[in-house]
Amino acid sequence: MNFAGNHILSIQQFERDDVDRIFDVADRMAPYAQRRRITRVLEGAILGSMFFEPSTRTRVSFGSAFNLLGGEVRETTGFESTAIAKGESLFDTARVLSGYSDVIAMRHPMEGSVAEFAAASRVPVINGGDGSNEHPSQALLDLYTIRSEIAARGKSLDQLRIAMVGDLRYGRTVHSLCKLLGLYPGVQIVLVSPQALQMPAEIVEDLRNTGHSVLESEQLEASISNVDIVYSTRIQEERFNTQEEADLYRGRFRLNQNIYTRHCEPNTVIMHPLPRDSRENARELDDDLNDNPNLAIFRQADNGLLVRMALFALILDVVDDVDTHARDVRWYTGGRF
Amino acid sequence: MNFAGNHILSIQQFERDDVDRIFDVADRMAPYAQRRRITRVLEGAILGSMFFEPSTRTRVSFGSAFNLLGGEVRETTGFESTAIAKGESLFDTARVLSGYSDVIAMRHPMEGSVAEFAAASRVPVINGGDGSNEHPSQALLDLYTIRSEIAARGKSLDQLRIAMVGDLRYGRTVHSLCKLLGLYPGVQIVLVSPQALQMPAEIVEDLRNTGHSVLESEQLEASISNVDIVYSTRIQEERFNTQEEADLYRGRFRLNQNIYTRHCEPNTVIMHPLPRDSRENARELDDDLNDNPNLAIFRQADNGLLVRMALFALILDVVDDVDTHARDVRWYTGGRF
Amino acid sequence: MNFAGNHILSIQQFERDDVDRIFDVADRMAPYAQRRRITRVLEGAILGSMFFEPSTRTRVSFGSAFNLLGGEVRETTGFESTAIAKGESLFDTARVLSGYSDVIAMRHPMEGSVAEFAAASRVPVINGGDGSNEHPSQALLDLYTIRSEIAARGKSLDQLRIAMVGDLRYGRTVHSLCKLLGLYPGVQIVLVSPQALQMPAEIVEDLRNTGHSVLESEQLEASISNVDIVYSTRIQEERFNTQEEADLYRGRFRLNQNIYTRHCEPNTVIMHPLPRDSRENARELDDDLNDNPNLAIFRQADNGLLVRMALFALILDVVDDVDTHARDVRWYTGGRF
């Protein structure tokens, strides 16, 4: 696809080449995200950050990514109650607010609303999550993390072996990740979930129809023995009708250091979209894994900066100028990473 | 008036020369607002944006206008409940907060509060709306839009013919616009509203006393046949005692493409302060007007940037330095306007 | 202490030399805070401003201080309800969010939470108030103000004579200030409060054990006759069980111009951590003192900028580069101070 001036609404937009392009650019963002260099390439540009649903980490990650490229951020948080209560259409909101920035990152509770907004916007829009529908930058940062972690272990995305664990029914991130993995050949996926929280059948079908191996299981230990990645997820309890129903599944699959040592291959990477549930009765990833160097969950969150910087640089077509407007960091950053 | 270092609290401050000066400066801001150039003239300056009452578009418009001049924005939204609940006077609040910025844009639900704040402030304050009292930058952007639109049609503000339609009693913008129009000779105004929602009598009197023609009507179609501008407004239902009372008037005057074609002169400009009410039972401006090139409502919103940039540049006395600190835009802006 | 890369969590961290160092750097920030010069030394740096409890003036003061050094600010306000409701630990929150900025200023309602967050953070954290525990930048700006005010009167912190008045039990600022004053020799402190709102005994003991003179009194007039500073405080009514209980003490000690003239030495400095309670039944500092040049309460608030700029410059180790990246202010600042 041509990135310059375009919206990023769904991972369905991407071919494998597009994903590779995004990741190549993300790699080049590392010196800036890690504060070894700063760049002012987007000095004077404005990001309109519109989070009509709260999401601290996604909002701050988008905003910091734009700052790291030298741009400014104008934020709107909370439901845009005033204008909507007065009967304003999403079309009008988009036409007006898109005049105040150069690019927009938007989250909205309603499925499809970001695409509707984008259709009326005069500047490119990145979908930062529209209900249970899409959140493309999260899927990209997950895949980017997998690529980085296994590259450090001498492997590539082709023939990747991955176990996805937990609430695979309601977890938006694993759905999107499965679709992205489908772009790579020979991926082997083990899906570990309670029967009631299985991955939607059409996603499994699509993977199998394109030649990938998919196994479904209700056993954690047996499923994590021969994989490169364990991708754990939280029970999305806010999606259940009752707390009791959610409690049936909370804490069902728990990975800790002991299980990891006994069952996983050395250097198996542990991922999680965060937040992880650290309460006594949940702990899908135990705190005793925090010292395990294969726990990649915080590097995964850091990678969000790289991927979002890459999306901004591609959409605004400044990839080749980033380094031109760079210089060394002036302040103390000792021990930062 | 002398702009440098002064507050902008009310349109009553302005002579015609002042308005002309603001508009001339606003014209010069277009290359920056339209992202053909960027300027860093206010690099290092801080706008204190204090919206003690929510107003997404006005807040973002002020903030983006300041960013477009190269400055930073520190925002406060929501009611400043803490300090006020602790018994702090507006004087103290102003003395303290005005020490943290170079200029302030402020909205507050209480009439007169912005002027009271400004009296204690150590930096210039722009009134971004104080209850039903004043909102000078909105009145200026309305008049600026009229000037731009009719200039493109070979006319000027002198001898302007305008119909104002809808809730003329509670709509703050039409009151202020009438006062500003009073600065120009020979303006002909048709006021179209239900009897109960007529323009306040003193405003009508003032216009007539200064030699302007004012007609009042309850008929939409007959009133829009010989005008340059139709300025439509929303029923301010939040000002009525009951929903039933507001419903009496909602949807009373509706302009759509069919009525426009049958009754208006070619190229009659359609304006609205926004938000327009697009719900079934309102639609003072129908969505089928969206493709009509004379629908100026989004250009009107865009002009808010120009007028606010002009006010900042005048107050901070950097008008002649804006172009000195300018350069070309580095990022992709194709198809932006 | 070594400032570069370190957290600022408590005034207990500081020796007298450290305080002197902070104040020397704060002095050098004056041209920038007073808008005679701007500096871009922190251009490209990001402050993560996390106010999980509202505090407009402290939040804006930190943000503006960072902007004045040339940096950007990414803000989070309100309780970070989403992630915490989903069971995320403060450790995880800190690890993730600290990846998005170069330094963090944080306020949190829970005592000890900022230190816990800092322990997991990968960048330096400044405590902006954790419940009733610590608020080191406030204590520093209070002491810095005392130093500046009495220096202008030819005195120094050694042998300082100060009266603290009001709610000395619940007022966090007076506790911290007492501890800081303990670093200087021969300080004479008069504590004026109702019996029930006395300074905690251990603080008084510590001061006496290190050779300072501490008197306790319930009489305002007699206590302010021989001091350099009167430091007045508000009754922290939100800490009382009932409004009735708070009302017992509200308005008990009131300083006004008449009392000042009759009882204080000429040029006695009046301070207050703000907000002062200006309601009829409170008025610990009457509005009729506003024209008294010895009323230092707004200079005190302004000094917050200087002290916070100094902390940022020290932590990020750019003190000696501030002037290198400076230039004159381009905009009109007439009559600003």
Domains plus CATH for chain B?
A: 11-134+304-328 (3.40.50.1370), 137-298 (3.40.50.1370)
Residues of chain A contacting B333 with CB distance shorter than 8 Å:
102
DSSP-derived 3-state class of residue B220: helix
Does A76 sit within 8 Å of B334, measured CB to CB? Answer: no
* Residue reference for tokens 């001091």: C227
pLDDT at res. A156: 94
Lowest mean pLDDT among B180-184, C74-78, C243-247, C308-312: C243-247
pLDDT at res. C171: 86
- Summarised one tens digit per residue, pLDDT across range A10-36 is 999 999 999 999 999 999 999 999 999
Does A56 sit within 8 Å of C76, measured CB to CB? Answer: yes
pLDDT at res. C337: 46
- Summarised one tens digit per residue, pLDDT across range A113-160 is 999 999 999 999 999 999 888 999 999 999 999 999 999 999 999 999
Enumerate neighbours of A (3 or more CB pairs within 8 A): B, C
pLDDT at res. A335: 62
| Chain A residues interacting with chain C (CB cutoff of 8 angstroms) | 35, 38-40, 54-57, 60-61, 63-64, 67-68, 70, 72-73, 75, 234, 274-279, 282, 287, 290, 298, 301-302, 305, 329-337
Residues of chain B contacting A101 with CB distance shorter than 8 Å:
64
* Over residues C156-185, mean pLDDT: 95
Residues of chain C contacting B76 with CB distance shorter than 8 Å:
56, 60
State the average pLDDT for chain A.
94
Does C99 sit within 8 Å of A298, measured CB to CB? Answer: yes
Q: Where are the beta strands (DSSP E) in chain C?
A: 37-39, 46-51, 72-77, 103-108, 125-130, 161-165, 188-192, 213-217, 229-232, 269-271, 326-328
Does C321 sit within 8 Å of A274, measured CB to CB? Answer: no
Residues of chain A contacting B334 with CB distance shorter than 8 Å:
4-5
Does B70 sit within 8 Å of A4, measured CB to CB? Answer: no
* Over residues A5-13, mean pLDDT: 96
* DSSP label of C218: S
pLDDT at res. B315: 98
Residues of chain C contacting B315 with CB distance shorter than 8 Å:
332
Q: Return d(Cα C235, Cα A245) in angstroms, integer.
A: 49
Residues of chain B contacting A72 with CB distance shorter than 8 Å:
67, 72-73
Q: Return d(Cα A186, Cα C25) in angstroms, integer.
A: 61
Residues of chain B contacting A45 with CB distance shorter than 8 Å:
331
Distance of CA B117 to the CA centre of its chain: 21
Does A64 sit within 8 Å of C46, measured CB to CB? Answer: yes
Tell me which residue in C38, C54, C334 faces B5 most closely, judged by beta carbons.
Answer: C334
Spatial neighbors of B111 by CB under 8 A, at least 6 apart, are B130, B131, B132, B133
Residues of chain B contacting C39 with CB distance shorter than 8 Å:
44
Residues of chain C contacting A335 with CB distance shorter than 8 Å:
5, 122
Residue B129 Rama label (left phi>0; alpha psi -120 to 50; beta): left
Q: Which residue of B has its CA nearest to A324?
A: B330
Does B290 sit within 8 Å of A91, measured CB to CB? Answer: yes
Tell me which residue in B56, B333, B336 faces A80 most closely, judged by beta carbons.
Answer: B56
Q: Which residue of C has its CA nearest to B95?
A: C298
Q: For residue C202, with 0-12 CB atoms within 10 Å meaning exposed, 13-18 middle and 19 or more buried, which class applies?
A: exposed
CA distance C119 to chain B (A): 28
CA distance B300 to chain A (A): 9
pLDDT at res. A337: 47
Tell me which residue in B44, B75, B92 faces C276 most closely, judged by beta carbons.
Answer: B92
CA distance B253 to chain A (A): 16
**The pLDDT of residue A332 is above 60:** yes
Lowest mean pLDDT among B70-79, C179-188, C241-250: C241-250
| Chain C residues interacting with chain A (CB cutoff of 8 angstroms) | 4-5, 41-46, 48, 72, 74-76, 80-83, 86-89, 91-93, 95-97, 99-102, 122-123, 315-318, 321, 325
Does B96 sit within 8 Å of C301, measured CB to CB? Answer: yes
* Residue A32, both tokens: 């800036």
CA distance A99 to chain B (A): 6
Residue A214 Rama label (left phi>0; alpha psi -120 to 50; beta): beta
Tell me which residue in B38, B301, B331 faces A316 most closely, judged by beta carbons.
Answer: B331
CA distance C276 to chain B (A): 6
- Summarised one tens digit per residue, pLDDT across range C49-69 is 999 988 899 999 999 999 999
CA distance A164 to chain B (A): 39
| Chain A residues interacting with chain B (CB cutoff of 8 angstroms) | 4-5, 41-46, 48, 72, 74-76, 80-83, 86-89, 91-93, 95-97, 99-102, 122-123, 315-318, 321, 325
Cis peptide before B273 (omega within 30 of 0): no
The number of C-beta contacts closer than 8 angstroms across A and C is 102
Tell me which residue in C45, C72, C74 faces A331 most closely, judged by beta carbons.
Answer: C45
Q: Return d(Cα A105, Cα A136) in angstroms, integer.
A: 12
Q: What is the pTM of this model?
A: 0.96
* DSSP label of A200: P
Mutation target vs B (from A81, A92, A93, A315; most B CBs, 10 A cutoff): A92
Tell me which residue in C48, C80, C317 faces A331 most closely, judged by beta carbons.
Answer: C317
- Summarised one tens digit per residue, pLDDT across range C93-134 is 999 999 999 999 999 989 999 999 999 999 999 999 998 889
Residues of chain C contacting B89 with CB distance shorter than 8 Å:
278, 287
**The pLDDT of residue A81 is above 60:** no
- Summarised one tens digit per residue, pLDDT across range C134-143 is 999 999 999 9
- Summarised one tens digit per residue, pLDDT across range A91-118 is 999 999 999 999 999 999 899 999 999 9
Does C317 sit within 8 Å of A64, measured CB to CB? Answer: no
Residues of chain C contacting A287 with CB distance shorter than 8 Å:
89, 91
Q: Return d(Cα B144, Cα B20) in angstroms, integer.
A: 9
| H/E element, C177 | helix C172-181
Residues of chain B contacting A75 with CB distance shorter than 8 Å:
75
Residues of chain C contacting B72 with CB distance shorter than 8 Å:
67, 72-73
ipTM of the complex: 0.95
What phi and psi, each to the nearest 5 degrees, are found at residue A65?
Answer: -55, -40
pLDDT at res. A175: 94
Q: Return d(Cα B327, Cα B87) in angstroms, integer.
A: 48
Tell me which residue in C60, C234, C333 faces B86 most closely, judged by beta carbons.
Answer: C234
Spatial neighbors of C115 by CB under 8 A, at least 6 apart, are C7, C9, C10, C127, C130
Mutation target vs B (from A74, A117, A320; most B CBs, 10 A cutoff): A74
User: Could you list the pLDDT tens digit for every one of the 337 residues in chain B?
Assistant: 999 999 999 999 999 999 999 999 999 999 999 999 999 999 999 999 999 988 999 999 999 999 999 999 999 987 655 567 788 999 999 999 999 999 999 999 899 999 999 999 999 999 999 988 899 999 999 999 999 999 999 999 999 999 999 999 988 899 999 999 999 999 999 999 999 999 999 999 999 999 999 999 999 999 999 999 999 999 988 788 888 888 889 899 999 999 999 999 999 999 999 999 999 989 999 999 999 999 999 999 999 999 999 999 999 999 999 999 999 999 999 865 4
Binned at pLDDT 50, 70 and 90, residue A82 comes out as low
Binned at pLDDT 50, 70 and 90, residue A237 comes out as confident
